[in-house]
Amino acid sequence: MKAFKALVIVGVLAGVATVAAGVPAFRPVLGIWLPYAAAALFLAGMVRRVVCWGRSPVPFRIPTVCGQQRSLPFLPHQPLESPYTGWQAAARVAGEVLLFRSLFRNTRTELTRKKRLAYLPSKLLWAAALAFHASLAVIVFRHLRFFLEPVPSCVRFVERMDGLFQVLVPAVMVTDAVILLALLYLLGRRLLDLRLRYLSLPADYVPLFLLLGIVGTGIAMRYIWKVDLIAVKELAVGLATFHPAVPDGTGALFLVHLALVSVLFAYFPFSKLVHMGGVFLSPTRNLANNSRARRHVNPWNRPVDVHTYEEWEEEFRDKLVACGLLPEEE
Amino acid sequence: MKKTPDELLQIEYTPPARDWMDPHVDFEARKGTWSYPGAPKNLEYLGLPNPREWSPTDEDWKLPENWKEIVHEGFLDLLKRFRSLKVFMDCCVRCGACADKCHFFIGSGDPKNMPVLRAELLRSVYRNDFTTAGRILGRLAGGRELTPDVIKEWFYYFYQCTECRRCSVFCPYGIDTAEITMMARELLNLLGININWVVEPVANCHRTGNHLGIQPHTFKDNIEFLCEELEDVTGIHIDPPINKKGAEVLFIVPSADYFADPGIYTFMGYLLLFEQIGLDYTLSAYASEGGNFGLFLSHDTIKRLNAKMYAEAKRLGVKWILGGECGHMWRVVHQYMDTMNGPADFLEVPRSPVTGTVFDHAASTKMVHICEFTADLIHHGRLRLDPSRNAGWKVTFHDSCNPARAVGLLEEPRYILRNVVEEFFEMPENTIREQTFCCGSGAGLGNDENMEMRMRGGLPRANAVRHVHERYGVNILSCICAIDRAVLPTLMDYWVPEVRVAGVHEMVGNALVMDGEKERTTNLRGEPIPGREG
């Protein structure tokens, strides 16, 4: 039901874009105004989000420690799991951002028929998540060729590597296939795993359907209904250089693709996709486990009411004297 | 407890048809899985809001008139003070990696015990009240209006989390449910909603200096009694200093260590160790609690209770502080104490008077864990140890949540154990170290009325113990946490009755060869040592 709601939302968006792409008057809206508005919303929204996070202090040093602390020299310290310096903590965050190390730990808990608990390795989610994010990064990078003239050699290189398995003309991009499979897996597990379906919100399906729409239209343009790439490049360079125009030859399918990308960007800062920034700011991961060695300062350290020794002694004076913990008063 | 282990093991993991967003808890039907509310006298003593008599089974929880406003303002205040809360509210992608990592979910199958949904109980209100999308789209954006039923659900599920942080190990963003539970409990506390098993120890500790409410003369009596027992076993008379000014080290333990079986044997172990090495130390009747149930109530109460440690160290003029075996105590000491009540510039960087080792990893807080201290002694060969005096014990080690995931104190206790016992066996790797499972009774939930949930929450730990019991014949579960020592015996009796519970320093005390001692025929429990029967 929640997935259906999300599908309807994304379907309506794509439908509106398809209709609008066929109406000449709306083509500049899709090709110029929507991308600019989306870019502005994305930038402003992400800055606002990160500034909002940054405004709140980190009052306590609360890393989740996953390995041996640095204490005694004869006990081997695990710097990635229990970072002691800022650099070690940065390496830990890098491991999270680039390799999804925490997700790699994943296990599946099962109560066997003999009523024993088993913890089975479960790496598929990690593999799919990493495949999706890595492919997306490569695809975004590849898209630079539309915005830059001449196309930088590094972009050409990545493209060539990506298309190395050349079985068809045009070359099949590895990342196109991988991202599609990864997205389908991520969607499939949300729908088929009862537990996951129970806890998923419409907002968990929206980005998946949006991305599937974007990847789908992208692949279609490349392999099936080819669009005029020269027109696309003209439009992209125009956008990038603030001389926007929608060339006559711009395909409708491309405009739908662009519209979905724009929606994704606009949606980004107001959704769970902000995890892109949040992963760097998580205090359980980005702080060193050295709070006993170096004092962590809390800017709002609030004064509290304390029961002082003097008050305590006063209250228990008779008993303290009787048991000899306090000398009798003169 | 009425339900048998077999009955308890009929766990339904398939989620119900009802949408989780519709709050509903039948407290009457779920007796045995929640804790009694805080008694008004305790709230009054601590100056906490809205003290009153009430029960979760009541329809009307007697919330303050403007309760909604109080929660909204309180939430905003927490968001302003804690970046963690903001980031954790915004970043979750509901990937589900945490879902089956929670001992309460594994033991109960209740989907709201999946850490992700526990957090969503709070997050849905956050989205509704504080985010653009939630304010406009409401439920479509995952927002949920705050109603009395949501508050009731918060009470049920945020007092069904032991703040063990296991889920946080697996979360790709490190989202820490302990942090979320702490925030939710702060909010509930503003309405006078809390549990007595937390509020009473806090009130006791504030007044007498320890959770159990032991007054100074009884504190002294208890310790003297334990010393008599020790003299029977070892022939050595010990007279531990209390409130001694000018001692080198202030030693602070969780109060259960000088009060209840089997913690008292751990305490005996400490005393024997200090006697043998001639440590110049003192106990304190004022700072007579290492633990800190304030951690389970609010940040302010953590600070109120914790303040006594430094205050007493300063008053007595000691050089540094040594802390006993306790779990959440070490979360507070390691991650909060210096920030809240430091800087401890009146103390010196801890240095072992026996080995000369400088504990520079505690250079600022100036407090050292007893396992760090003892491991260093053993490494330098300063203790004569006879593991055969622990004969008969087949030992495994339970990493307590906080020493493991807050401190990273993983190898110290293992190093000690390998030197003091003959037979040591690890539980499976997914159940120890950073992946260790909670006892199921931490964070104030270790009371009798919550017994069914405790046995459910403790199932993963007990299951791992059963595994090593059947495989290697393990018969004792060692740990470095006073709550563990208080609650694991009950858990073992229920799931693995053949296994007993001990602190690491009880094992040290048994193995430690002392000058001038008589031949030991019994262990510290007064039970004959196999092969040495008198």
- The domain in which residue A62 lies consists of 2-70+79-296
Phi, psi values for residue B320, rounded to 5° = -155, 175
A295/B342 CB distance under 8 A: yes
A284/B14 CB distance under 8 A: no
Among A102, A109, A272, whose Cβ lies nearest the Cβ of B93?
A272
What DSSP line would sit under A202-230, residue for residue?
HHHHHHHHHHHHHHHHHHHHHHTS---HH
A323/B83 CB distance under 8 A: no
B94/A204 CB distance under 8 A: yes
> What CA–CA distance (Å, rounded) separates B94 from B89?
12
Residue of B nearest to A9 (CA): B140
> What CA–CA distance (Å, rounded) separates A261 from A35?
8
B409/A302 CB distance under 8 A: no
Q: Is residue A315 part of a domain?
A: no
The domain total for chain A is 1
Name every chain A residue with its beta carbon within 8 A of the beta carbon of B301.
Answer: 304
Q: Give A317's Cβ-side CA count (13 Å radius).
A: 6
Span between the terminal Cα atoms of chain B, in Å: 40
CB of B37 closer than 8 Å to CB of B194: yes
A199 touches chain B (CB under 8 A): yes
pLDDT number for residue A154 = 92
Q: Which two tokens stand for residue B103?
A: 């001992």
pLDDT number for residue A240 = 94
B171/A102 CB distance under 8 A: yes
Question: CB-based burial of residue B314 (10 Å sphere; 0-12 exposed, 13-18 middle, 19+ buried)?
Answer: middle
One digit per residue, the tens of pLDDT, for chain B of length 534 reads: 789 999 999 999 999 988 999 999 999 999 999 999 999 999 999 999 999 999 999 999 999 999 999 999 999 999 999 999 999 999 999 999 999 999 999 999 999 999 999 999 999 999 999 998 899 988 889 999 999 999 999 999 999 999 999 999 999 999 999 999 999 999 999 999 999 999 999 999 999 999 999 999 999 999 999 999 999 999 999 999 999 999 999 999 999 999 999 999 999 999 999 999 999 999 999 999 999 999 999 999 999 999 999 999 999 999 999 999 999 999 999 999 999 999 999 999 999 999 999 999 999 999 999 999 999 999 999 999 999 999 999 999 999 999 999 999 999 999 999 999 999 999 999 999 999 999 999 999 999 999 999 999 999 999 999 999 999 999 999 999 999 999 999 999 999 999 999 999 999 999 999 999 999 999 999 999 998 875
B90/A289 CB distance under 8 A: no
Residues in chain A, pLDDT under 70: 165-170, 329-330
Question: CB-based burial of residue B19 (10 Å sphere; 0-12 exposed, 13-18 middle, 19+ buried)?
Answer: exposed
B142/A201 CB distance under 8 A: yes
> What CA–CA distance (Å, rounded) separates A30 from A252?
10
Q: Is residue A307 part of a domain?
A: no
> What CA–CA distance (Å, rounded) separates B401 from B101?
13
Residue B241 C-alpha, separation from nearest chain A C-alpha, in angstroms = 10
CB of A22 closer than 8 Å to CB of A252: yes
Among A67, A107, A198, whose Cβ lies nearest the Cβ of B408?
A67
Residue B51 CB neighbours (<10 A): 18
3-state helix, strand and coil shares in percent for chain B, rounded to the nearest 5: 50, 5, 40
Among A96, A105, A117, whose Cβ lies nearest the Cβ of B460?
A117
DSSP state of B41: H
In 3D space, the residue among B459, B338, B359, B349 whose CA is nearest the CA of residue B412 turns out to be: B359
> What CA–CA distance (Å, rounded) separates B211 from B199?
10
> What CA–CA distance (Å, rounded) separates A253 from B84?
43
Q: Which residues contact B305 (CB under 8 A, 6 or more apart)?
A: B202, B205, B206, B289, B292, B293, B294
CA dihedral B44, B46, B49, B50 (to 10 degrees): -30
> What CA–CA distance (Å, rounded) separates B259 from B289?
11
Span between the terminal Cα atoms of chain A, in Å: 81
CB of B492 closer than 8 Å to CB of B499: yes
- The DSSP H or E segment spanning A121 is strand A117-121
Residue of B nearest to A95 (CA): B172
Phi, psi values for residue A226, rounded to 5° = -65, 140
ipTM: 0.95
Give the best residue of B21, B93, B182 to mutate against chain A (max A CB count within 10 A).
B93
A64/B405 CB distance under 8 A: yes
A106 touches chain B (CB under 8 A): yes
Amino acid identity, position B466? R
B131/A270 CB distance under 8 A: yes
Region of B366 please: left (phi>0), alpha (psi -120 to 50) or beta.
Answer: left
B286/A309 CB distance under 8 A: yes
Among B116, B169, B221, whose Cβ lies nearest the Cβ of A102?
B169
CB of A220 closer than 8 Å to CB of A18: no
Interface of A with B in 66-95 (CB under 8 A): 66-72, 74-76, 78, 81-82, 84
CB of B437 closer than 8 Å to CB of B167: no
In 3D space, the residue among B465, B400, B482, B457 whose CA is nearest the CA of residue B434 turns out to be: B400
A60 touches chain B (CB under 8 A): yes
A312 touches chain B (CB under 8 A): yes
B116/A322 CB distance under 8 A: no
CA dihedral A133, A137, A140, A142 (to 10 degrees): -130
Residue of B nearest to A65 (CA): B405
Residue B52 C-alpha, separation from nearest chain A C-alpha, in angstroms = 22
Name every chain B residue with its beta carbon within 8 A of the beta carbon of A57.
Answer: 81-83
Cα separations in angstroms, B358 against A289, B424, B505? 19, 29, 22
Residue A39 C-alpha, separation from nearest chain B C-alpha, in angstroms = 18
Question: CB-based burial of residue A192 (10 Å sphere; 0-12 exposed, 13-18 middle, 19+ buried)?
Answer: exposed
Name every chain B residue with its beta carbon within 8 A of the beta carbon of A70.
Answer: 361
What DSSP line would sit under B377-439, residue for residue?
HHHTT-S-B-GGGGTT-EEEEE--HHIIIII---HHHHHHHHHH-SEE-PPPGGGSGGGPPP-
A71/B409 CB distance under 8 A: yes
- In total, the C-beta contacts within 8 angstroms joining chain A to chain B are 305
CA dihedral B224, B393, B439, B96 (to 10 degrees): 150
Among A125, A284, A322, whose Cβ lies nearest the Cβ of B174?
A284
Residue of B nearest to A277 (CA): B91
Name every chain B residue with its beta carbon within 8 A of the beta carbon of A97.
Answer: none
A49/B303 CB distance under 8 A: no
Q: Is residue A330 part of a domain?
A: no
In 3D space, the residue among B329, B281, B283, B325 whose CA is nearest the CA of residue B306 turns out to be: B329
Residue of A nearest to B16 (CA): A198
In 3D space, the residue among A147, A148, A143 whose CA is nearest the CA of residue A159 turns out to be: A143
pLDDT number for residue B531 = 86
Q: Which residues contact B147 (CB under 8 A, 6 or more apart)?
A: B23
Give the best residue of B20, B79, B83 to mutate against chain A (max A CB count within 10 A).
B83
The β-bridge relationship of strands A107-111 and A117-121 is antiparallel
> What CA–CA distance (Å, rounded) separates B370 from B357?
14
Q: Give A274's Cβ-side CA count (13 Å radius).
A: 30
DSSP state of B351: B
pLDDT number for residue A328 = 75
Q: Which residues contact A281 (CB under 8 A, 6 or more apart)?
A: A50, A53, A54, B83, B87
Question: CB-based burial of residue B381 (10 Å sphere; 0-12 exposed, 13-18 middle, 19+ buried)?
Answer: exposed
Cα separations in angstroms, A133 against A166, A189, B116, B271? 23, 17, 22, 56
CATH number at residue A267: 1.20.950.20
> What CA–CA distance (Å, rounded) separates A252 from A234?
15
Q: How far is CA A194 from the centre of its chain?
A: 24
B220/A325 CB distance under 8 A: yes
CA dihedral B66, B67, B71, B74 (to 10 degrees): 60
